[in-house]
Structure 1
Amino acid sequence: MHGDEHALFGAALAFLAAAVVSVPIAKRLGFSPVVGYLLVGIAIGPVGFNVADPGVVSTVAELGVVMLLFLVGLELKPSSLLSMGHFIFGLGTAQLMLTALAFALLAYFGLGFGVAAAVVSGLALSISGTAIALQLLGERGDLASPYGQRTFSILLFQDIAVVPLLALVPLLAPGGEAEVTRDPKATLLAAAIAVAAIAVIVVSGRYLLNPLFRVLARSGAREAMTAAALLVVMGAAGLMEAAGLSAALGAFLAGLLLSESTFRHELEANVDAFRGLLLAVFFMSIGMSLNINVVLGHIPSLLVGTLAVAVVKSVIVYLVFRADNIAPQDSMRAAVALMSAGEFAFVLFPLGLDNGILKSEQADLLIALAALTMILGPLLFAALSRLLPRFARPVAEPPADDFADADGSVLVIGFGRFGQIVSQCLLAQEVTVTIIDKDVEMIQSAGRFGVHIYYGDGTRLDVLRAAGAETVEVICVCVDNKEDANRIVEIVRASIPNARLFVRSFDRVHSMELARLGVDFELRETLESALSFGARTLEALGVPQTAAAARIADVRVRDRARLERQLEEGIFAGAEVFSGHKVEPEPLTQPEKPARPLNPEAQDILSHETEFSG
């Protein structure tokens, strides 16, 4: 290898090793992997091992942000985006304007910046880190939550705002306004190019990409599909960047237009692996770009500045979310997730320096400040995720409904998937039914069934009595938690001994528990559906319907006989045995041929099983 090839190979090796080492350590300490990437970036940067030029690395690593926005677009649909318009332009505008104003005032009055420098600083710091925020929310699975959707809307608005903000910087430069005024045609031409680029992406996404993917899918070449997916992302990003727009915004538009494509999942799978690795490199590049000399020379001012940015930005975001009726805990999570400065700060501050708006020392300090907020944000988010559950107030259970008009002959407890089918069978026969459930969302959505569901906890005796458990002919326990089911059975057997109990069983062990508790009827939730499935499979193989039905009936009898035998022999006598052992599945009929392994792993498993049983 030549010297450059050696350097490239060494840098790639260092980044891969850093990614492998940092994630387990960060997870072990309870932090987000983002924190590990940022800290290890400092270690392999100029202040540490100096494995590569941070500027070159960040240019390549920005592709991770591009792919992240493409995947986010794939998860949305144009209709969903339109429904988020209030959040994007309402919350987004409020957050950006209020935060930028607060930072500009602090820079002007507190640091003595000029008006232009204060405006540029305020706008750059008010924009949040898209990659960091989406990564933090994605790790918690909160992107689909109300506060997650609003957080994403603000991030999307900020990406859209990048374009006019980039155009604003030259206007703020000395003499910039006059220069632009003398050439209005250039401004109109730039706007036309931007509109044309968006139109190309929209038309291509709607009419050209699906036929292309269809042809590639028919060829059966998976590597061609992967190349096409990367081509779509890179092409859209490159086109938008050439038009003076945000590359990430172009990737987002491409993903959004393909969100309803039949190839959406294939595209997502092909791009996701590259996205994760490039995002890791991106976060490392931020740590590498931190100028340690500037940090060490201005530690007090940077600490105060980082704290000020964190407090001001978090308070404004918190108030904006609370004004939109988001719960306090979720508003705090959004505030911390959006606290970090964004990738755009590393573009805007050098741009302000080049245009004479910022001085060299100011730009270095602001870049270091932005990097420190990016390190602090994930740390605070991890700490907040640990602390909030400890300080959360226990939610008081609302009182049960008034059962004065409940007069059903059957009491159904639990209105999940199982309980809904049971209730429909009874209602179709015009049997009067009283249904209770403690899931508020389930009760709210039950209007489609044309029945009234009462709110109540079936594990409480007073609720059961109020619901008519002492007068109904049958109590159907259809809850999906076996501990709750057992508790209900024990309460009813102790206080309403004459009640007939029909209970949904979770599995074979649960069926045995229920039999010991003396229920009148129990049924494993998967038994009959599996038997019916088996019958249809036999028929599909050419077995006559009557023969298939007889075979299934025989299996049903064998299964019941085995269950009764296990009960008589006392295999699971005592609750302590239930917790330590489980029922091993055994064939109901002896197989004609011994098991034949299909691979070495199966051979090893069968060998051990034979030794153990022998």
Structure 2
Amino acid sequence: MQSEDFFFQAFIYLVAAVVSVPLAQKLGLGSVLGYLIAGVIIGPFGFGFVGQEKSDDVMHFAEFGVVMMLFLVGLELQPSLLWRLRMPILGLGGLQVSVTTILVAILGMIFGLSWQMAIAVGMILSMSSTAIALSTLKEKGLMKTEAGQSAFSVLLFQDIAVIPILALMPLLAMKNPVSHAANGLIFVAATENSTSLPPLLQALLVIGVVGGIIVAGRFLMRPVFRIIATTRLQEIFTATALLLVIGIALAMQQVGLSPALGTFVAGVVLADNEYRHELEGDIEPFKGLLLGLFFISVGASINFNLFFSQPLLILGLVIGLALVKFVILFGLGRFFKIELSQNLIFAFFLAQGGEFAFVLFSFATQNKVLTSDVAGPLVAVVAFSMIVTPLLALINDKFVQPLLTRATPEREADEIDETENPVIIVGFGRFGQIVGRLLIANGFKITVLEHNATQIELLRRFGWKVFYGDASRLDLLRAAGSEQAKLIVIAIDDREKILQTIELVHKHFPHLKILSRALDRRHAYELIRHGVDVIERETFASSLDMGVEALKLLGVRSYKAYRTARMFKEHDIQAMYEVAQLEGDEAQIIARSRQLSQDLEQLLRTDDRELKQDIDRAWDITELKREINEQNNIKQAT
């Protein structure tokens, strides 16, 4: 490829990403679907800016994004975490691959495939897209949830399972040809030297390379990074990080193994390294860009001619693949007791083919396991299933999860037997508990209302008396003793529920003083406009305390730090009440907020000068008193 052609294609890819992804995000489709749609638009079946032959170099370049992604995934996996996830990885992941392989193989034989072909297709289609699933889960903030952890375990097992699948594939061949690897960078890019070695020597070479990666990561890289860090040149550290990833990828290619798997192993080995965060920070921008280019390349490589020539077959296979994998994943989730809403997310996000399939199908075809007539349509099916995945996630978010929430039967509120307490606390999480403990420590009795059944069970195990119920209901507030109480503390984290409860209290219990938690500054504005007596932003006080400690560590004297914090708090609260009156005028709110910030800086500078003058005057008076005392002592002595 000539350099001008490469630059033109790179320009087209970047323009497509910059235009399509923000639009997709604005429409709620997610960045992954935006990249895939961008690829379709610029590809040979869209505007034709990027042809199939010309885009090969960009595709191989972009595939390196998956390699980097798995390296970063490995960096997040400390050995202790891997050991803790061993049951989900081996149990959930192993069963998913095994059951999917067997069921797809049976369906393949029913439709006329030989048992060798059917098993090969089953193994390949058991893979899900690590790139799409992890990117979408991270984008939606689901990685730490039960669904995210389960999906991660399955994807991790699938990545590891690629090696035995590659080893088994030649054994399924109709004949016994010399093994040829595909050219893809993601999994296998073996050279003739590696594939021509005797099997025993090849196995020893593989073990040696993997062992070398582990040993180097554990014992050699720490001093290397320490030496590089002493240069204090960020670009050298970045170059070292890229050199590490590329070097491992090349080493794995030379022995006919997956570069992505090799970098993943290296990431796990380096997970305990003190320079892990620097590595993540240096590689993350490259990973994000290259991964986006990979998704665009996938979209551009979809063979729509094949789809138009056999639309019912391709569409039926896409639906069938998604349905089979969804049923298997959902069933396994039920078996492993994953909560229903989380189980649906888990099944929706993994019900697709994976990027592994593109190279594995090519590998199987070259090894005479599959014919091109079988592999060709299945490659298109995998590509279309990857495009459909963000749509499935969107359907789950917009329709399935809300429906599930509405379908959940509402638990009856508890019968409240405390109606004489002066304080009612609504919500007893991390915010409400601190208020409640302080009141109890000072001898005041409280009535606690909580709407989270799981939280109630936890609190009751610790000895707290908590009543289940929704405080935005008038009957529950009456039952809690609102007519006799003096205060109501609203400490829940639901904006709408907070406002509903406030309006209800104002209307039916106007004597109650309302103290409410504000989730942020804009929420505080709403509460001010609703006439709440006391408003406390949930992170304001703790942030202010940390600011005081920061000032002290920077050499500011304690009295000055506390005085500054007190002035800052008074000014900020006054400013918050003032800006709250500018409802709806965004430009005026911004302008007034900037002016108030400038006023605060001026106030603190003025106070600093006055404080110094007061200290100087106090010092002069102290000196004068000392001199007078000395003179008096002299007079008395004489």
TM-score scaled by length of structure 1: 0.79
How many residues were matched structurally? Answer: 574
Q: What is the Cα deviation at residue 173 of structure 1?
A: 1.8
- 1:199-243 deviations in whole A, cap 9, x for unaligned? 333333333333333333332211112112222333333334444
Q: What is the Cα deviation at residue 63 of structure 1?
A: 0.9
Q: Secondary structure at the match of 1:435?
A: strand
Measured in 2, the distance between the counterparts of 1:559 and 1:8 equals 55
Q: Does 1:136 align with 2:136?
A: yes
Q: What is the Cα deviation at residue 156 of structure 1?
A: 1.1
Measured in 2, the distance between the counterparts of 1:161 and 1:272 equals 26
The answer (yes or no) to whether the contact 1:32–1:379 under 8 Å persists in 2 is: no
Q: What is the Cα deviation at residue 277 of structure 1?
A: 1.5
Measured in 1, the distance between the counterparts of 2:501 and 2:271 equals 46
User: Does 265-274 or 251-260 show the bigger shift?
Assistant: 251-260
Q: Which residue of 2 aligns with 1:72?
A: 73
Q: Which residue of 1 aligns with 2:16?
A: 18
One-letter code aligned to 2:138:
G
The answer (yes or no) to whether the contact 1:171–1:177 under 8 Å persists in 2 is: no
User: Does 147-156 or 237-246 show the bigger shift?
Assistant: 237-246
- 1:426-466 deviations in whole A, cap 9, x for unaligned? 34445544433334454445469764433333444443454
Q: Does 1:211 align with 2:212?
A: no
User: Does 13-22 or 552-561 show the bigger shift?
Assistant: 552-561
Q: Which residue of 2 aligns with 1:57?
A: 58
The answer (yes or no) to whether the contact 1:482–1:505 under 8 Å persists in 2 is: no
Measured in 1, the distance between the counterparts of 2:13 and 2:240 equals 26
Q: Which residue of 2 aligns with 1:223?
A: 235
Measured in 2, the distance between the counterparts of 1:527 and 1:372 equals 48
Q: What is the Cα deviation at residue 530 of structure 1?
A: 7.6
One-letter code aligned to 2:469:
G
Measured in 1, the distance between the counterparts of 2:488 and 2:42 equals 67
One-letter code aligned to 1:161:
A
The answer (yes or no) to whether the contact 1:120–1:348 under 8 Å persists in 2 is: no
Q: Which residue of 2 aligns with 1:422?
A: 435
In structure 1, stretches of 5+ residues that fail to align are 595-614
List aligned pairs for 1:167-186, cutoff 5 A: 167-176=167-176, 186=198
Q: Does 1:38 align with 2:36?
A: yes
In structure 2, stretches of 5+ residues that fail to align are 180-194, 607-638
Q: What is the Cα deviation at residue 326 of structure 1?
A: 2.9
Measured in 1, the distance between the counterparts of 2:445 and 2:343 equals 45
2:467 aligned to which of 433, 454, 464? 454
Q: What is the Cα deviation at residue 283 of structure 1?
A: 1.9
Q: Which residue of 2 aligns with 1:398?
A: 411
Q: What is the Cα deviation at residue 410 of structure 1?
A: 4.7
The answer (yes or no) to whether the contact 1:237–1:247 under 8 Å persists in 2 is: yes
One-letter code aligned to 2:65:
G
Q: Secondary structure at the match of 1:436?
A: strand
One-letter code aligned to 1:122:
G
Change in Cα spacing, 1:23 to 1:211, as seen in structure 2 (3 Å) is same
Q: Secondary structure at the match of 1:326?
A: coil
Q: Secondary structure at the match of 1:253?
A: helix
Measured in 1, the distance between the counterparts of 2:473 and 2:304 equals 63
Measured in 2, the distance between the counterparts of 1:563 and 1:92 equals 52
Measured in 1, the distance between the counterparts of 2:500 and 2:14 equals 53
Measured in 1, the distance between the counterparts of 2:215 and 2:227 equals 19
Give the share of equivalent positions with the same residue, in percent. Answer: 37
Q: Which residue of 2 aligns with 1:309?
A: 321
- 1:283-322 deviations in whole A, cap 9, x for unaligned? 2322343344444443343333333223222222222223
User: Does 72-81 or 144-153 show the bigger shift?
Assistant: 72-81
Q: Secondary structure at the match of 2:515?
A: strand
Change in Cα spacing, 1:264 to 1:449, as seen in structure 2 (3 Å) is farther
User: Does 477-486 or 430-439 show the bigger shift?
Assistant: 477-486
Measured in 1, the distance between the counterparts of 2:222 and 2:201 equals 31
One-letter code aligned to 1:401:
D
Q: What is the Cα deviation at residue 473 of structure 1?
A: 6.7
Q: Secondary structure at the match of 2:29?
A: coil
Q: Which residue of 2 aligns with 1:8?
A: 6
Change in Cα spacing, 1:81 to 1:590, as seen in structure 2 (3 Å) is closer
The answer (yes or no) to whether the contact 1:99–1:316 under 8 Å persists in 2 is: yes
Measured in 1, the distance between the counterparts of 2:34 and 2:540 equals 48
Measured in 1, the distance between the counterparts of 2:2 and 2:539 equals 63
Q: What is the Cα deviation at residue 554 of structure 1?
A: 8.2
User: Does 555-564 or 128-137 show the bigger shift?
Assistant: 555-564
Change in Cα spacing, 1:444 to 1:194, as seen in structure 2 (3 Å) is farther
Q: What is the Cα deviation at residue 157 of structure 1?
A: 1.0
Change in Cα spacing, 1:150 to 1:492, as seen in structure 2 (3 Å) is closer
Q: Secondary structure at the match of 1:392?
A: helix
Q: Which residue of 1 aligns with 2:145?
A: 145
Measured in 2, the distance between the counterparts of 1:557 and 1:317 equals 55
Q: Which residue of 1 aligns with 2:399?
A: 387
Q: What is the Cα deviation at residue 168 of structure 1?
A: 0.9
Q: Which residue of 2 aligns with 1:255?
A: 267
One-letter code aligned to 1:403:
I
Q: Which residue of 1 aligns with 2:90?
A: 89
User: Does 551-560 or 467-476 show the bigger shift?
Assistant: 551-560
1:349 aligned to which of 361, 365, 368? 361
The answer (yes or no) to whether the contact 1:504–1:525 under 8 Å persists in 2 is: no
Measured in 1, the distance between the counterparts of 2:285 and 2:602 equals 46
- 1:537-587 deviations in whole A, cap 9, x for unaligned? 887866684x887888888889999999x89xxx95xxxx75668884644
Q: Secondary structure at the match of 1:503?
A: strand
Q: Does 1:266 align with 2:264?
A: no
Change in Cα spacing, 1:416 to 1:56, as seen in structure 2 (3 Å) is same
One-letter code aligned to 1:150:
S
Q: What is the Cα deviation at residue 113 of structure 1?
A: 2.5
Measured in 2, the distance between the counterparts of 1:53 and 1:254 equals 33
Change in Cα spacing, 1:352 to 1:450, as seen in structure 2 (3 Å) is same
Q: Secondary structure at the match of 2:2?
A: helix
Q: Which residue of 2 aligns with 1:437?
A: 450
One-letter code aligned to 1:264:
R
Q: What is the Cα deviation at residue 164 of structure 1?
A: 0.8
List aligned pairs for 1:407-418, cutoff 5 A: 410-418=423-431
The answer (yes or no) to whether the contact 2:217–2:266 under 8 Å persists in 1 is: yes
The answer (yes or no) to whether the contact 2:341–2:401 under 8 Å persists in 1 is: no
Change in Cα spacing, 1:234 to 1:544, as seen in structure 2 (3 Å) is closer
The answer (yes or no) to whether the contact 2:334–2:343 under 8 Å persists in 1 is: yes
Measured in 2, the distance between the counterparts of 1:43 and 1:561 equals 53
- 1:97-142 deviations in whole A, cap 9, x for unaligned? 22222222232231x3222222212211221221122222222222
Q: Which residue of 2 aligns with 1:338?
A: 350
Q: Secondary structure at the match of 2:271?
A: coil
Q: Secondary structure at the match of 2:467?
A: strand
The answer (yes or no) to whether the contact 1:414–1:478 under 8 Å persists in 2 is: yes
Measured in 1, the distance between the counterparts of 2:535 and 2:392 equals 50
User: Does 504-513 or 72-81 show the bigger shift?
Assistant: 504-513
Measured in 2, the distance between the counterparts of 1:494 and 1:125 equals 60
Change in Cα spacing, 1:448 to 1:194, as seen in structure 2 (3 Å) is farther
User: Does 10-19 or 154-163 show the bigger shift?
Assistant: 10-19
User: Does 245-254 or 548-557 show the bigger shift?
Assistant: 548-557
Measured in 2, the distance between the counterparts of 1:447 and 1:175 equals 67
Q: Which residue of 1 aligns with 2:612?
A: none
User: Does 260-269 or 11-20 show the bigger shift?
Assistant: 260-269
TM-score scaled by length of structure 2: 0.76
